[in-house]
Amino acid sequence: MTQPYPTGAKKALLIAIDGPVAVGKSTVGRMVASRLGYRFVDTGTMYRALTWKAIEQKIPFDDEAALSRMSANTTFQLTTTGKNGQNNILMDGKDVTQQVRSAPVEKSVSLVSKVSEVRESLVRHQRRIAIEGRLVMAGRDIGTVVLPQADLKIFLAASPLERARRRYQELLGQSPKVNYDEVLADLQSRDDMDIHRQASPLKPATDAYILDTEGLSAEQVANKICALALGKPPSETC
C-alpha cells in the first residue's frame, strides 16, 4: 500500500528528520536545508559533545545526578560551515567538532543520552534554536518531543545491514583498519539502547512520513523530502 503523503498548503518552515543510527539523517538533512535555504541542526552533536565533556571530567556514565548537573551548566553554539553545511559545535566556547566524532564518544553516547535530565536541558536548547523557523533539525526525538508542531516530520528507515554498509564505507575513508562486523555490532547495540530507553525512545511520530531509503542515494532521499516540504508528492522533482 502506498503511504499517503502529507500535503501542506504552505511551504514547511520547520522540518523534523528522525531515524536510527547511520540512516543518513545529517547528510540528507544538510542537502534539504541547502536546497530550501534553511539552517540545519544535527542534535546528535549536542549529545556527543556532552559525552566528550563527561569523559574529560571523568564523570562515570552511571552517575546520573552528576551528568544532569554537567548538562545544566553547559553552553552550546552551533554554526554551519559554508562548504558542505556541516555543523561545527562550540561547547562552553571551545570548538569540539572533531572530538565529538571520536571512538570513545561513539561508544558511550547512548549512555549519556538516556538520562532524562540531560535530555530535558538539551531539548530546551533545541527549542530555542528552532524559534526563528526555516530550519531542518535531525535527531531521534525531534518529531515526537522537541518539535511536535513541525510542519513536516520525516522518519528515515533502512535495514541494519544497509546502514552498516554505508557507515563502513564512510569510515573506510578515514581508516583502512575498520571492520564491517564491528561496525554492524556497534550500530545494533546503539539502536537497541536508543529504541529501548525510557526517556524519549526512538520511534516515529504518529504523523511522521516513513521514508524507506533502502537502495536510494542521498540525493534521491533529499529530493523526496524537499518535494514534500513544498507540498508536492515525493516522486516529483523538488
Give the residues lining the site for ligand DC (CB under 6 A): 21, 43-44, 47-48, 109-110, 113, 139-141, 190, 194
Q: Toward ligand DC, which CB reaches closer, 108 or 231?
A: 108
List residues bridging with 177 in a β-sheet: none
Q: Toward ligand DC, which CB reaches closer, 5 or 102?
A: 102
Q: Give the whole-angstrom CA distance, residue 164 versus residue 184.
A: 5
Question: 235-238 long-range contacts, Cβ below 8 Å, gap at least 24?
Answer: 238/35
Q: Toward ligand DC, which CB reaches closer, 9 or 131?
A: 131
Q: Toward ligand DC, which CB reaches closer, 141 or 151?
A: 141
Shortest distance, CB of residue 7 to ligand DC, whole angstroms? 26
Angle between helices 180-196 and 103-112 (to 10 degrees): 20
Shortest distance, CB of residue 44 to ligand DC, whole angstroms? 2
Dig out the grid coordinates for 57 from the structure.
Answer: 571530567
C-beta of residue 227 within 8 angstroms of C-beta of residue 7:
no
Shortest distance, CB of residue 21 to ligand DC, whole angstroms? 5
154 phi and psi, to 5 degrees?
Answer: -115, 135
Best CA proximity match to 195, nearest among 17, 16, 21, 61: 21
Shortest distance, CB of residue 232 to ligand DC, whole angstroms? 27
Best CA proximity match to 171, nearest among 155, 156, 158, 187: 187
Q: Residue 56 carries which side chain, given as an amino acid letter?
A: E
Q: Toward ligand DC, which CB reaches closer, 66 or 111?
A: 111
Angle between helices 116-130 and 44-56 (to 10 degrees): 130
Shortest distance, CB of residue 82 to ligand DC, whole angstroms? 22
Shortest distance, CB of residue 15 to ligand DC, whole angstroms? 14
* DSSP symbol at 227: H
Q: Toward ligand DC, which CB reaches closer, 110 or 213?
A: 110
C-beta of residue 194 within 8 angstroms of C-beta of residue 20:
yes
Shortest distance, CB of residue 113 to ligand DC, whole angstroms? 4
Q: Toward ligand DC, which CB reaches closer, 118 or 226?
A: 118
